[in-house]
Structure 1
Amino acid sequence: MKTMLLALLCYLSTIPLNAQTEEFRVKAGDDITTKISEHGKYRFTAFKQGRIYYDYGKSASAKFNYNYLVEEMQFINPDGDTLSIANPEQVKYVVFDSAIYYYNEGFIELVKNLDSVKIGKKQKLKIVYEKIGAYGQPTNSSAIDNNKFYLENNTFYRLTINQDAIIKKQTTWYIISDKEERPVEADKAGFTKLFPQHKDDIKVFTKENNDALKTADGLARLLSICMK
Structure 2
Amino acid sequence: MKKPITLFLLLAACPCFAQAQKVFKIKAGEYPDKVIPYADRYQLSQFTTGKADFIDGRTSQARFNYNYIGGHILFLDAKLDTLEIIDQALLKGITVGEKSYRFDKRFGYAEIVGSYNRASLAKREVLARIGTEKGGPYGISYTASSVTTYRSYSSDQAQTSKKLNTNAEGVFTYRTAHYLIDNNNRFYVPTAGSVKKLYPAHRKQIDQYLREKPVNFGKEADLARLLGYCDTL
TM-score (structure 2 length as normaliser): 0.68
User: Within 1, Cα distance between the matches of 2:51 and 2:67?
Assistant: 17
What SS class does the counterpart of residue 224 from structure 1 fall into?
A: helix
Residue type matched to 1:130 in 2?
A: E
**How many pairs are equivalent?**
198
Please list the CA deviations of residues 186-217 of structure 1 after superposition, one character each: whole Å capped at 9, or x if unmatched.
22232121012232344445566666211221
Going from structure 1 to structure 2, the CA distance change for 1:165 and 1:86 (only over 3 Å counts) comes to closer
Going from structure 1 to structure 2, the CA distance change for 1:204 and 1:194 (only over 3 Å counts) comes to same
User: Within 1, Cα distance between the matches of 2:80 and 2:221?
Assistant: 40
Which residue of the partner structure matches residue 169 of structure 1?
Answer: 174
2:178–2:218 contact (8 Å) kept in structure 1: yes
Residue type matched to 1:95 in 2?
A: T
Greater RCO, 1 or 2 (C-alpha within 8 Å, sep 6+):
2
Does residue 75 of structure 1 match 2:75? yes
Query: What's the offset of the Cα at 1:31?
Result: 9.7
User: Within 1, Cα distance between the matches of 2:31 and 2:52?
Assistant: 32
User: Within 2, Cα distance between the matches of 1:207 and 1:51?
Assistant: 42
Q: Which has the larger share of helix? A: 1
Going from structure 1 to structure 2, the CA distance change for 1:28 and 1:59 (only over 3 Å counts) comes to closer
2:24–2:36 contact (8 Å) kept in structure 1: no
The alignment's C-alpha RMSD in Å is 3.7
Which residue of the partner structure matches residue 123 of structure 2?
Answer: 121
Q: Describe how 1:1-228 pairs up with structure 2 within 5 A.
A: 15-22=13-20, 24-26=22-24, 39-105=39-105, 106-114=108-116, 117-127=119-129, 128-131=131-134, 148=143, 166-178=171-183, 180-206=184-210, 212-228=216-232
Query: What's the offset of the Cα at 1:148?
Result: 3.6
Q: For structure 1, which runs of at least 5 residues remain unmatched after alignment?
A: 1-10, 134-144, 155-162
2:217–2:223 contact (8 Å) kept in structure 1: yes
Going from structure 1 to structure 2, the CA distance change for 1:124 and 1:25 (only over 3 Å counts) comes to closer
2:116–2:231 contact (8 Å) kept in structure 1: no
TM-score (structure 1 length as normaliser): 0.69
